[in-house]
A = this chain, B = another copy of it.
């Protein structure tokens, strides 16, 4: 009786891994987000009726692991959505059936059925056919994986309540490489991971329980993703240790039933670092032999091993330059060891000098990849893939396409997209990236004067390369929602869908995702689709408009605003803003010459300020603040306006999401709402930091008088303080007025008080405080003697400093204030967090 709730939930645990899909239909389940888009939630009665006449038997032709998975998954999905347990058969019954098999197997049982001509592997055909006189549904794959992909596609059609009566669909992947990368460290932390600790590793070893790994593989397979690099590109040499390989084999075992190949990142210096050689020179025969033996050892334990990902000569990683060798020397050394087994080397093009002299206006980090790799075109073996980030810098909110993508004709490519939102709000901010990726994939590089969109180049279709495709940096973790936020999963979904078919539209993808994730309620679908589709531009507008790059703290967390941090250092991510103007001149005529790396047609687009689109202007050109954009606005006013507009749009997201109360399950409703409210507060931090920085730099006031004027704000430092002491925040724009107050030891509790003097009415009171990750301070707000709110600053933001990463907003709505009221903020520090806060803002309640 006491454990009623627990008991209701128990079957999930019991059943997981034993049988799939057995759950009493009609039980409302708490939704944690764990099931992502594979919820198989019960359909409405009307939709169920539509599928009433589906054959009751699911016949699988063959017993390969992926085929068995296909049958289990289909039965699980049908059970979830229709509340019925279909029959698992291995022989054709004397009745209609759903038949699963590869083309060959299907033809053996259905003589008149003809396999379709599909260009590439892993395709599938869903159709109806007569088999032994019965009308059957055929889910046929070019490969076993194709069958599994066909099953997921079939289930997706059901979840979307699509008609199956004239089923006839052929699908095949756009490219052979559809991989995800995980930047997991062996100690369990994930570099740039925002969804908890590693599902693969903990404390230097592979986890004992890999059930989450299998569930991850299932999510990946549902999108057609066929490979996963499981460890950080900044690789630990231990990955290749002989006693570690059996552990890796366990991961491969968890992947295999889902058709996902295991691959690993390797430290290029491994032959020396852990192999006992005195060199790792790729042209040294001992090194080549070492790699060959190591690879053979791997394949003995993992026969379907995928290959290596290499980050070398980049950001401190050792590489072939140690021996004066080239990336092609390096890649080929590994490729030749892998080649007999069918393995691939992914060699990252993210190679640049991070000690660049910022005083030289001709220096340009953006040039690096092309400068290094373009000359090597044709020197890479056929099982090497150059993995190229979508832009020339590093996953900024807006970059042009990397010119290297158009700069390799005799070399395989893959485009590296970042699913984990390193510069995009780290899953705390809503930012659906498909529109950005689509802009990249559809961009025409005009190579050799032909129409050559990026998607065709990276897929190897333009130059008929043997392989190529898509790599997404996912970084899922142990959080129940995988990425730390249910809505961020749209990016993993979109990556997978685009890797399968880059011709899908952002809106078609998000519509699928929303329906699969939250159901087909029209209000939910309309609202979530619209929020997601606009979210990238919203994020861009308050973090880095006009192609300036994400104006974040580039040297630290890559999270909150830090406008000046990218200047005056060797990392090369410069926006060159000064008192006169802003932007980096990369033209051929007067700048770094970067524009010259593009084809002539693309050069025309970017070489002049007049031609360059507004949204990339500052990436390519340095202009005065008063420069007038195509839009008719000046650059400086655009910076101000876009930050205010973006902030306002996030506030609107909160309001829109609140309308979904009761339309979305309670737990995910609350999770997403909490994140959106946080984002609305943090967007204000961004807005104020960036606008004030540019106001100070430019000296040009906001035409609308907003920047620097906050009539509803009471600065903490202006309150009557007891125990609290004011201090200067660095950089100044990270706090309102450049100052905050803190309650430093040995003081145990501090207060800040002020008198309310405005007219009586209903108000919202917002407290801007600093929530560091090195303590859990407590705050209380009193109106006279009446406690009206209290909270603990226990969020896990990426900084132990008072600053823009930690600045957080608490809203207390619906307060009846009267002139003369004494309002008091009480802070109790904890650990190294000194209950610092910045200001209080009081505005009339809405309505």
Which A residues contact B (CB, under 8 angstroms)?
A: 1-5, 7-8, 10-11, 14-15, 18-19, 22, 24-30, 32, 56-57, 79, 82-88, 93, 95, 194-197, 427, 478-481, 484, 658, 661-662, 665-667, 669-671, 673-674, 760, 762, 783, 785-792, 794-796, 811-816, 818, 845
Docked-complex contact A22 and B789, CB < 8 angstroms: yes
Question: How far, in Å, is A79 (CB) from chain B's closest CB?
Answer: 8
In the assembly, what is the distance between CA of A758 and CA of B662, in Å? 44
Inter-chain contacts of A796 with B (CB < 8 A): 1-3
Counted per complex, copies of this chain come to: 2
Inter-chain contacts of A666 with B (CB < 8 A): 28-30, 665-666
- Asked, given contacts A8-B674, A762-B84, whether A814 binds B1 with beta carbons under 8 Å apart, the answer is no
Q: 30 A-B pairs, CB-CB below 8 angstroms?
A: A1-B195, A1-B427, A2-B196, A2-B479, A4-B484, A4-B671, A4-B674, A5-B667, A8-B670, A19-B790, A24-B813, A25-B814, A26-B658, A26-B673, A27-B670, A28-B669, A29-B670, A30-B30, A30-B666, A83-B813, A83-B814, A84-B813, A84-B814, A84-B816, A85-B788, A88-B785, A93-B818, A95-B760, A665-B666, A666-B666
In the assembly, what is the distance between CA of A83 and CA of B27, in Å? 32
Question: How far, in Å, is A230 (CB) from chain B's closest CB?
Answer: 20
Docked-complex contact A670 and B28, CB < 8 angstroms: yes
Inter-chain contacts of A762 with B (CB < 8 A): 56, 84
In the assembly, what is the distance between CA of A150 and CA of B500, in Å? 65
In this complex, the member of A11, A93, A788 whose beta carbon has the largest number of chain B beta carbons within 10 angstroms is: A788
- Asked, given contacts A7-B794, A28-B661, whether A85 binds B816 with beta carbons under 8 Å apart, the answer is yes
Inter-chain contacts of A30 with B (CB < 8 A): 30, 666-667, 670
Taking CB as reference atom, which chain B residue is nearest A478?
Answer: B2
Inter-chain contacts of A478 with B (CB < 8 A): 2
Question: How far, in Å, is A339 (CB) from chain B's closest CB?
Answer: 42
Question: How far, in Å, is A822 (CB) from chain B's closest CB?
Answer: 13
Docked-complex contact B479 and A86, CB < 8 angstroms: no
- Asked, given contacts A10-B792, A661-B26, whether A87 binds B671 with beta carbons under 8 Å apart, the answer is no
Docked-complex contact B479 and A671, CB < 8 angstroms: no
Question: How far, in Å, is A589 (CB) from chain B's closest CB?
Answer: 47
Taking CB as reference atom, which chain B residue is nearest A426?
Answer: B1
Inter-chain contacts of A665 with B (CB < 8 A): 666
In the assembly, what is the distance between CA of A762 and CA of B48, in Å? 14
Instruction: Return the contact of A25 from the options B5, B813, B815 (Cβ within 8 A).
Output: B813
Taking CB as reference atom, which chain B residue is nearest A7?
Answer: B794
Question: How far, in Å, is A450 (CB) from chain B's closest CB?
Answer: 46
Question: How far, in Å, is A809 (CB) from chain B's closest CB?
Answer: 13
Taking CB as reference atom, which chain B residue is nearest A2?
Answer: B196
- Asked, given contacts A1-B195, A28-B661, A194-B1, whether A790 binds B669 with beta carbons under 8 Å apart, the answer is no
Instruction: Return the contact of A787 from the options B19, B32, B794 (Cβ within 8 A).
Output: B19
Docked-complex contact A14 and B788, CB < 8 angstroms: no
In the assembly, what is the distance between CA of A661 and CA of B87, in Å? 28
Inter-chain contacts of A57 with B (CB < 8 A): 816
Docked-complex contact A22 and B670, CB < 8 angstroms: no
Docked-complex contact B815 and A85, CB < 8 angstroms: yes
Inter-chain contacts of A22 with B (CB < 8 A): 787-790
In this complex, the member of A3, A28, A88 whose beta carbon has the largest number of chain B beta carbons within 10 angstroms is: A28
In the assembly, what is the distance between CA of A216 and CA of B95, in Å? 61
Known: A26-B661, A85-B816. 5 other contacts (CB 8 A): A2-B796, A4-B479, A29-B666, A29-B670, A666-B666
Question: How far, in Å, is A837 (CB) from chain B's closest CB?
Answer: 18
Taking CB as reference atom, which chain B residue is nearest A196?
Answer: B2
Docked-complex contact A1 and B789, CB < 8 angstroms: no
In the assembly, what is the distance between CA of A3 and CA of B783, in Å? 31
Question: How far, in Å, is A56 (CB) from chain B's closest CB?
Answer: 4
In the assembly, what is the distance between CA of A657 and CA of B229, in Å? 48
Question: How far, in Å, is A42 (CB) from chain B's closest CB?
Answer: 9
Inter-chain contacts of A667 with B (CB < 8 A): 5, 30
Inter-chain contacts of A815 with B (CB < 8 A): 84-85
Inter-chain contacts of A14 with B (CB < 8 A): 790-792
In the assembly, what is the distance between CA of A26 and CA of B24, in Å? 31
Ordered nearest first, which 6 A-B pairs have the shortest CB separation? A84-B814, A56-B816, A88-B786, A19-B787, A28-B666, A1-B484
In the assembly, what is the distance between CA of A4 and CA of B22, in Å? 28
Inter-chain contacts of A658 with B (CB < 8 A): 26
Docked-complex contact A1 and B816, CB < 8 angstroms: no
In the assembly, what is the distance between CA of A160 and CA of B806, in Å? 43
Docked-complex contact B670 and A787, CB < 8 angstroms: no
Question: How far, in Å, is A816 (CB) from chain B's closest CB?
Answer: 4
In the assembly, what is the distance between CA of A481 and CA of B4, in Å? 10
Docked-complex contact A814 and B82, CB < 8 angstroms: yes
Inter-chain contacts of A27 with B (CB < 8 A): 670, 673-674
In the assembly, what is the distance between CA of A79 and CA of B762, in Å? 13
Docked-complex contact A11 and B814, CB < 8 angstroms: no
Inter-chain contacts of A671 with B (CB < 8 A): 4-5, 8
Question: How far, in Å, is A248 (CB) from chain B's closest CB?
Answer: 25
Question: How far, in Å, is A98 (CB) from chain B's closest CB?
Answer: 12
Inter-chain contacts of A760 with B (CB < 8 A): 95
In the assembly, what is the distance between CA of A845 and CA of B1, in Å? 30
- Asked, given contacts A28-B670, A28-B673, A661-B28, whether A816 binds B10 with beta carbons under 8 Å apart, the answer is no
In the assembly, what is the distance between CA of A39 and CA of B794, in Å? 27
Taking CB as reference atom, which chain B residue is nearest A810?
Answer: B24
Inter-chain contacts of A5 with B (CB < 8 A): 32, 480, 667, 670-671
Inter-chain contacts of A661 with B (CB < 8 A): 26, 28
In this complex, the member of A87, A93, A484, A783 whose beta carbon has the largest number of chain B beta carbons within 10 angstroms is: A87
Question: How far, in Å, is A325 (CB) from chain B's closest CB?
Answer: 42
In the assembly, what is the distance between CA of A86 and CA of B18, in Å? 55
Inter-chain contacts of A29 with B (CB < 8 A): 666, 670
Taking CB as reference atom, which chain B residue is nearest A778?
Answer: B14
Inter-chain contacts of A79 with B (CB < 8 A): 814
In the assembly, what is the distance between CA of A29 and CA of B671, in Å? 11
Inter-chain contacts of A11 with B (CB < 8 A): 791
In the assembly, what is the distance between CA of A30 and CA of B668, in Å? 11
Inter-chain contacts of A669 with B (CB < 8 A): 28
Question: How far, in Å, is A171 (CB) from chain B's closest CB?
Answer: 28
Inter-chain contacts of A85 with B (CB < 8 A): 783, 786, 788, 812, 814-816
Taking CB as reference atom, which chain B residue is nearest A519?
Answer: B662
In the assembly, what is the distance between CA of A816 and CA of B585, in Å? 70
Taking CB as reference atom, which chain B residue is nearest A664?
Answer: B28
In the assembly, what is the distance between CA of A27 and CA of B85, in Å? 37
Inter-chain contacts of A87 with B (CB < 8 A): 783, 786, 816, 818
Taking CB as reference atom, which chain B residue is nearest A788?
Answer: B85
In the assembly, what is the distance between CA of A88 and CA of B665, in Å? 35
Docked-complex contact B1 and A479, CB < 8 angstroms: yes
In the assembly, what is the distance between CA of A783 and CA of B86, in Å? 11
In the assembly, what is the distance between CA of A811 and CA of B791, in Å? 46
Inter-chain contacts of A789 with B (CB < 8 A): 22
Docked-complex contact B18 and A790, CB < 8 angstroms: yes
Question: How far, in Å, is A773 (CB) from chain B's closest CB?
Answer: 11
Question: How far, in Å, is A758 (CB) from chain B's closest CB?
Answer: 15
Taking CB as reference atom, which chain B residue is nearest A814?
Answer: B84
Question: How far, in Å, is A196 (CB) from chain B's closest CB?
Answer: 5
Inter-chain contacts of A197 with B (CB < 8 A): 2
Inter-chain contacts of A813 with B (CB < 8 A): 24-25, 83-84
Inter-chain contacts of A785 with B (CB < 8 A): 88
Question: How far, in Å, is A692 (CB) from chain B's closest CB?
Answer: 29
